[in-house]
Amino acid sequence: MSKDFQQVTTPDAPAAIGPYSQAVVAGGFVFCSGQIALEPKTGALVGDTAAQQCVRVMSNLLAVLGAAGCTFADVVKTTIYLKDMNDFGAVNEAYAAALGEHRPARATVQAARLPKDALVEIDCVARVP
């Protein structure tokens, strides 16, 4: 990786399951790769519902952000990928609970299929404080 990019890794979030980084710091921002509901230690997909999976996803994102010196308060943009848009309301509640009062910009899209057949995946961009 070039000196203009800093790779972010933490054992507190699932290891990348492909040729990518958990996150990269560049230009004063942290670009977090999409997280699904994998338990970091075992790599097992957890949660039977999209809302349950969202709780784990947000925990994973927070761990990656923390490794870059950030919190959810630093997040400026997220993208939520749902297997089924009918899960929007339940995922929205879990997402809002994790973020508290912070409200970054966001897009939500339905995806035909997510890695490991997950029900939800979320990526984010945060500013480095």
Q: 85-121: per-residue pLDDT in tens?
A: 999 999 999 999 999 999 999 999 999 999 999 999 9
Q: Is 6-127 a CATH 3.30.1330.40 domain? A: yes
pLDDT of residue 4: 84
pLDDT of residue 2: 58
Q: 41-54: per-residue pLDDT in tens?
A: 999 999 999 999 99
> Does the structure show a pLDDT above 60 at 78?
yes
Rounded to two decimals, what is the model's pTM? Answer: 0.95
Residues 6 or more apart whose Cβ sits within 8 Å of residue 96 = none
Write a three-state SS string for 55-86.
HHHHHHHHHHHHHCCCCHHHEEEEEEEECCHH
d(CA 55, CA 47) in angstroms, rounded, equals: 9
d(CA 119, CA 114) in angstroms, rounded, equals: 7
Write the DSSP symbol of residue 117. Answer: G
**CA geometry: angle 33, 34, 40, nearest 5 deg:** 90
Q: How confident is the model at residue 17 (pLDDT cuts 50, 70, 90)?
A: confident
